[in-house]
């Protein structure tokens, strides 16, 4: 019985951990303040919201008129094709709701040859908490 309780506790702890997947070499996991700094300091960025269109319609990151996130749904069949149309030499800033999909999208971007990739740690949820 103690073993069963211990296994349950371990499974519960693992399932409650952050949804952020580990980053890969070449992918910069950025705090909200670091992400905001990149948006403010670099007008040559590509800001990518990889959430669903429904999530995107509920609000997204937009800091200036010239910097508003573009929605490329990670779960869509044409995600890789759409991502591949972006300029691989320009930095991309990727985010999702909590960090899981964007971590996967950042890895895919790295595989496609993007040079500079920033992934928002904690996703749009963390962004809203810090910026509200």
Q: How confident is the model at residue 33 (pLDDT cuts 50, 70, 90)?
A: very high
**Cα(129)–Cα(92) distance, integer angstroms:** 22
Average pLDDT over residues 51-60: 95
CA distances from 27 to 3, 11, 15, 73, 131 (A): 39, 29, 24, 19, 24
**Cα(47)–Cα(71) distance, integer angstroms:** 9
CATH architecture of 19-131: 3-Layer(aba) Sandwich (3.40)
Give residue 7's pLDDT. Answer: 40
What 3-state class would DSSP assign to 38?
A: helix
Give residue 131's pLDDT. Answer: 82
- Residue 12 pLDDT > 50: no
**Cα(79)–Cα(24) distance, integer angstroms:** 19
Average pLDDT over residues 25-34: 92
Give residue 44's pLDDT. Answer: 87
Residues, the chain, total? 132
What is the domain partition of the chain in residue ranges?
A: 19-131
Which DSSP category does 30 fall into? E
Q: What's the half-sphere exposure (Cβ side, CA atoms, 13 Å) at 77? A: 0
- Residue 31 pLDDT > 60: yes
């Amino acid at each position: 019985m103690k073993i069963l309780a211990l296994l349950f506790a371990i499974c519960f702890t693992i399932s409650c951990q952050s949804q952020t997947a580990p980053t890969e070499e070449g992918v910069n996991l950025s705090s909200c303040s670091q992400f905001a700094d990149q948006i403010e300091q670099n007008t040559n960025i590509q800001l990518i919201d990889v959430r669903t269109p429904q999530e995107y319609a509920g609000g997204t990151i937009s800091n200036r008129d010239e910097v508003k996130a573009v929605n490329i749904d990670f779960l869509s069949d044409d995600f890789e094709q759409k991502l591949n149309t972006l300029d691989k030499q320009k930095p991309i800033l990727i985010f999702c709701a909590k960090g899981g999909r964007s971590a996967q999208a950042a890895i895919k971007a790295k595989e496609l040859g993007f040079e500079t990739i920033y992934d928002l740690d904690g996703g749009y949820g963390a962004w809203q908490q810090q910026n509200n």
